[in-house]
Amino acid sequence: MTTPPAATGAAIPPGQAADFGGPVGHGEAKRWFANSLAKGCLSGSFLLVGPPGIGRAALAKWIAKCLLCDESGERSLSCCGRCPSCFQVEAETHPDLVQVRKPEDRAFIPVELLIGPAENRMREGFNRDIRLRPFHGTRKVAILHDADYLNDEGANSLLKTLEEPPPDSLIFLLGTNEQRQLPTIRSRCRIVRLHPPRGEQAVELMRRRGIDCDAATAERAIELCGGDCQAAAEVLTADGAKLRQAITQRLVNPPISPVDLAQVVTSVIEDLGKAASAAVKRDRLRDILSIAIDTFRQQLIDSADRPEQLAPIIYRLDRSIEAIAQVQRNANQTTLIECWAADLARGNPA
């Protein structure tokens, strides 16, 4: 995370209370929030960034729970987990927790969710809800999920709120990367970068998802999935291992058959069922492409002493990285899969 201004007053010494509770990992971020709260100066606008599945929303929600908990001390980053406020935050029904998400069927966060519909401008929406006096305690917390999907109009409508949030309120914007935000948004938020868990924390995260494995396996799976811990757990299940094998097998032994490869990828996505949302399908495709990237990276290492073989491997690796970027840009899946498979089979630029 960006280093906040030097702290004064009672601070939590490093090493003490290494785990504050709440979601696994993010110790550095938790420590900073705990220190600020202990000093009575925790408020403002924050941009939490990290790859999908790393736990941005879980961390923001846990901090909200700590701040709104009826039982925990005013200046303690902790929550009881049992009081009505804790239950309401968990159920996302707490009146002092304001949340906005991008609707599944929209390409961007509709500006109405931020400033109200045309007939009720400024009298509804995120900007107004965060300014209402707290219903229950003394604080308000707002979480704007999917901040990557703010268009210019939406982003501009937030500037004043982010610049001057109401006293004792906290605003979290959750995104994958600060570069996806306008400079005017970035400059108004403290940027908090979340990192994938390592070592025992990675093991613990997998254990909570029903996977028993060692630290190296957990770290590798999380890295393979670009920091997405849920996807990593899925990769480590028996089905995940089978999927990995099916994809890897088709990539390591040229010639790659584009038709066969596209069919396998499509059927893996179709296995999710008709009810699966576009986002879930996108995540699955991203996992498959991550497996491909990992496979080509490994090939690159294995072929280091055979320079004549490197060019097609590097091309396939780059092409798969490009495909992930296309997934994130919501490209048409069928076209994306077919073009990617065809390019991999060719092994060099058209």
Residue 86 lies near Zn ion (rule: CB under 5 A): yes
Cβ-based burial of 288 (10 A; exposed 0-12, middle 13-18, buried ≥19)? buried
Angle made by CA atoms 194, 219, 174, in degrees to the nearest 5: 20
In the complex, the smallest distance separating the C-beta of residue 77 from Zn ion, rounded to whole angstroms, is 13
Calpha distance 324→183 (Å, rounded): 25
Residue 83 lies near Zn ion (rule: CB under 5 A): yes
In the complex, the smallest distance separating the C-beta of residue 70 from Zn ion, rounded to whole angstroms, is 5
Out of 10, 80, 272, 279, name the contact with Zn ion by CB under 5 A. Answer: 80
Residue 174 lies near Zn ion (rule: CB under 5 A): no
Residue 212 near residue 49, CB atoms below 8 Å? no
In the complex, the smallest distance separating the C-beta of residue 88 from Zn ion, rounded to whole angstroms, is 10
Residue 78 backbone phi and psi in degrees, to 5: -155, 165
Closer by beta carbon to Zn ion, 88 or else 328: 88
Return the DSSP state at 252.
H
In the complex, the smallest distance separating the C-beta of residue 344 from Zn ion, rounded to whole angstroms, is 52
Closer by beta carbon to Zn ion, 83 or else 182: 83
The window from 75-83, 96-104, 269-277, 336-344 that contacts Zn ion (CB under 5 A) reads 75-83
- CA distances 237 to 131, 211, 271, 277, 281, Å, are 45, 7, 16, 22, 18
Calpha distance 204→302 (Å, rounded): 31
Q: Which residue has the tokens 């480590």?
A: 236
Residue 63 lies near Zn ion (rule: CB under 5 A): no
Secondary structure of the chain: what % helix, strand, coil (to 5)?
Answer: 55, 5, 40
The window from 77-85, 176-184, 193-201, 287-295 that contacts Zn ion (CB under 5 A) reads 77-85
Calpha distance 25→302 (Å, rounded): 33
Out of 34, 47, 69, 150, name the contact with Zn ion by CB under 5 A. Answer: 69
The window from 42-50, 61-69, 242-250, 282-290 that contacts Zn ion (CB under 5 A) reads 61-69
Residue 71 lies near Zn ion (rule: CB under 5 A): yes
In the complex, the smallest distance separating the C-beta of residue 254 from Zn ion, rounded to whole angstroms, is 58
Contacts with Zn ion by CB under 5 A lie at 69, 71, 79-80, 83, 86
